């Protein structure tokens, strides 16, 4: 369901009767017309995009004194596909937000012998991150080691591209299953049995790893246990499917209502011509000819149902899609966003811990002692209140209940001034400013 919603209108139409049931006694041609004209209101996909993007509205940061230089060099291309660390973690966050679970695999190209650092850089042999999606995960085994749940086996599907040996201009996508064990990896592919000719999974390649552990880090949306996560916006997904169905019904009834039915009674057996320059004559006293139109009550009921569904989706998270009209107080703004903010902050904390462990695996692959850690923006409370709370802070400053520096920091935290400005530099600029004109009011320090 989530994959279909994320795929948009085309994916929902392809799902057909799974999410848009066929009515009893409905003709197939009529259903196909109804399905081909249905359009998806992208509440779920848009909410996932907006919520998962909030932690990455500011750059991912790190302490250069803590993160080794060799690892920092990888941040510009963390997956060997041109993706920087910020974008990679943003992609991981969006996957976890949508599906409730995904993972970071710290991989290293196979090497048969130990080589120098210079040779390693020349050949591009270094560890890198790989995103493993929720739909790719197949199976795992784990056990408690020193009080920590540790993988003993991990199995997932991956797709690789290879040039067709029979045609140099054709690239084939091959699905394979990778099996990881501590110190060992195997790859299986579907191949025909040499005896029966039937397709079966056979060992394609295998090898050993220098690290005696499985360097996979799970990332959760709503964690329920080890390798057990729930999509945090599941209810929004169900409501979005209901909206898809209700909107299809509304489109159908609008189509019917917009085409009035011509009703005639006792008009005789002669030909009837209907048009602007036509007249119809009848000799019967009870003869009648008129258009029968829909009363419109069902249309209004359907419209109300759709609006109610959209409001429910906003309450779960889709309120970020729309700017609500009217003046809102600080308390109202905080109340509307408190639940979503706390859940998202929890996700960011889990993602930060996962990134730290992934960096540690990078360090172990490279012989470093510590991989350090990164910081992902999670102070959504301040940015949510934004200008509403800024007025309150300025009032405190005028009452001398807040220092100039604290006011500067709080306004900056809300994203109302450039995040690269520093108070010490700004204070020097303020002191270098000419004295205010006595005929003009003194401007506020902010």
pLDDT at 133: 95
> What gap in Å lies between CA 308 and CA 433, rounded to an integer?
55
pLDDT at 124: 60
Give 96: exposed, middle or buried? Use CB within 10 Å, 0-12, 13-18, 19+: buried
Tokens of 356: 């730290």
239: three-class secondary structure by DSSP = helix
Q: Dihedrals φ, ψ of 236, to 5°?
A: -65, -35
pLDDT at 344: 81
Tokens of 81: 């596909």
pLDDT at 298: 59
CB 362 within 8 A of CB 315: no
The C-alpha R_g of the chain, in whole angstroms, comes to: 31
154: three-class secondary structure by DSSP = strand
Q: Dihedrals φ, ψ of 93, to 5°?
A: -65, -40
Half-sphere exposure of 388 (CA within 13 A, CB side): 14
Task: Compute, in degrees rounded to 10, the torsion defined by CA atoms 320, 324, 329, 331.
Answer: -40
Give the contacts of 210 (CB within 8 A, at least 6 positions apart): 108, 365
pLDDT at 445: 56
- Looking at residue 23, the DSSP 8-state letter turns out to be P
> What gap in Å lies between CA 160 and CA 230, rounded to an integer?
28
> What gap in Å lies between CA 66 and CA 410, rounded to an integer?
27
Cα→Cα distances 346→57, 319, 350, Å: 17, 20, 6
Cα→Cα distances 171→55, 163, 167, 256, Å: 37, 4, 8, 49
Sign of CA dihedral 352, 356, 359, 365: negative
pLDDT at 112: 57
Tokens of 167: 């045609």
> What gap in Å lies between CA 331 and CA 297, rounded to an integer?
39
pLDDT in tens, 379-418: 765 555 555 567 778 888 888 888 988 888 888 776 677 7
- Looking at residue 436, the DSSP 8-state letter turns out to be P
CB 363 within 8 A of CB 371: yes
Beta bridge partners of 130: 105
Helix (H) or strand (E) holding 189: strand 184-192
Please give the share of the chain, as a percent, with pLDDT higher than 90: 38
| Helix locations, 16-58, DSSP H | 28-37, 43-53
CB 318 within 8 A of CB 5: no
pLDDT at 362: 93
Tokens of 99: 């599906």
| Beta strand ranges found along 197-260 (DSSP E) | 199-208, 216-220, 222-225, 228-230
Question: For the chain, which residues score pLDDT lower than 50?
Answer: 318-331, 333-335, 337-340
> What gap in Å lies between CA 331 and CA 165, rounded to an integer?
66
> What gap in Å lies between CA 213 and CA 59, rounded to an integer?
31
Half-sphere exposure of 154 (CA within 13 A, CB side): 23
> What gap in Å lies between CA 210 and CA 428, rounded to an integer?
55
pLDDT at 387: 57
The average confidence (pLDDT) of the chain is: 82
Instruction: Of 317, 321, 323, 324, give the one whose Cα is nearest residue 339.
Output: 317
Q: Token match 């599907």: residue?
A: 157
CB 316 within 8 A of CB 368: no
List the chain domain ranges.
235-267+284-321, 330-432
Element counts in the chain: helices (H) and strands (E): 12, 14
> What gap in Å lies between CA 315 and CA 19, rounded to an integer?
23
111: three-class secondary structure by DSSP = coil
């Amino acid at each position: 369901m989530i994959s279909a919603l994320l795929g948009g209108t085309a994916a929902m139409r392809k799902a057909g009767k799974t999410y848009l049931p066929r009515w009893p006694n409905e003709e197939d041609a009529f259903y196909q017309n109804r399905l081909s004209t249905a359009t998806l209101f992208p509440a779920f996909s848009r909410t996932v995009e907006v919520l998962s993007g909030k932690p990455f509205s500011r750059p991912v940061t790190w302490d250069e004194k803590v993160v080794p230089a060799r690892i920092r060099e990888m941040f510009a291309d963390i997956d060997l596909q041109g993706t920087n660390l910020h974008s990679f973690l943003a992609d991981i966050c969006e996957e976890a937000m949508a599906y409730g679970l995904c993972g970071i695999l710290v991989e290293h190209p196979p090497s048969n012998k130990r080589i120098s650092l210079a040779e390693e850089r020349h050949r591009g042999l270094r560890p890198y991150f790989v995103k493993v999606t929720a739909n790719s995960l197949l199976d795992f085994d784990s056990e408690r080691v020193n009080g920590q749940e540790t993988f003993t086996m991990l199995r997932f599907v991956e797709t690789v591209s290879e040039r067709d040996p029979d045609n140099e201009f054709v690239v084939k996508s091959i699905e394979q299953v990778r099996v990881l064990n501590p110190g060992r990896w195997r790859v299986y592919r579907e191949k025909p049995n040499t005896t029966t000719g039937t397709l079966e999974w056979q060992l394609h390649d295998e090898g050993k790893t220098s690290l005696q552990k499985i360097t996979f880090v799970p990332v959760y949306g709503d964690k329920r246990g080890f390798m057990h996560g729930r999509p945090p916006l599941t209810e929004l997904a169900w409501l979005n499917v209901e909206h898809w169905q209700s909107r299809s019904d509304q489109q159908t009834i609008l189509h019917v209502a917009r085409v009035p039915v011509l009703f005639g009674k006792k008009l005789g057996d002669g030909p009837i011509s209907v048009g602007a320059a036509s007249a119809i004559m009848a000799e019967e006293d009870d003869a009648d000819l008129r258009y029968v139109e829909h009363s419109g009550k069902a249309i209004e009921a359907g419209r109300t149902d759709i609006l109610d569904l959209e409001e429910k989706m906003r309450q779960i998270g889709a309120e970020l899609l729309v700017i609500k009209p009217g003046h809102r107080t600080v308390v109202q703004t905080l109340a509307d966003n408190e639940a979503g903010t706390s859940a998202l902050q929890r996700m960011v904390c889990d993602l930060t811990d996962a990134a730290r462990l992934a960096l540690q695996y990078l360090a172990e692959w490279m012989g470093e002692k510590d991989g350090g850690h990164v910081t992902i923006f999670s102070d959504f409370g301040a940015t949510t209140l934004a200008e509403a709370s800024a007025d309150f802070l300025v009032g405190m400053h005028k009452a001398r209940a807040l220092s100039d520096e604290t006011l500067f920091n709080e306004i900056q935290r809300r994203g109302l001034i450039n995040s690269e400005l520093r108070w010490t530099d700004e204070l020097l600029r303020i002191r270098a400013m000419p004295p205010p004109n006595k005929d003009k009011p003194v401007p506020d320090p902010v």
